[in-house]
Amino acid sequence: TAGFIANPFFGQFAWNPEQFFGAILSAWLIAAVVQEPRSFSARAFSWGPLVGLGVISYGVYVYHVFAPRAVGFVLRQLDMPAWMGSGFPLLALSAVATFVVAIVSWRFMEKPINEARPSWQERTASRKGQHLPDPIPAPAHATRSEAH
């Protein structure tokens, strides 16, 4: 209701319907997977490439912003045809560059940090005289150790 009250002040919609319905759909899918771990939805989310994307998703999020400029720069330095620096060719090359950089970032930066974090936490807690709780066990249907 607040969106409709504010409507005259902020334009046609004071809320973003696409984000709202996307959030509703996401919540519905998550609930379906949690309630029935053997469902088609759960199996779809356990598909290897999708799990792999989840593992590198932070890198994709961080690096996708820089990829088009970096790819465009490299294309200009290599005197590639101008059509490669815009539209679908730029999108495709930027996507490939984003995934390559995200994978390398995961392997050589994020994964070592994640593996070292428990020992850092234990040392910090022991210096403060605290006890760390046991880690939360992974769900039974988890398929990749990198995802934790």
The pLDDT value given to residue 119: 80
For the segment 21-72, what is each residue's pLDDT rounded down to a tens digit?
A: 989 999 998 898 899 988 888 888 889 999 999 999 999 999 999 999 999 9
C-alpha pair distances (Å), 102 with each of 2, 50, 64, 65, 75:
40, 14, 9, 12, 20
Res. 17: pLDDT tops 90:
no
Containing H/E element for 43? helix 40-45
Average confidence score pLDDT of the chain: 83
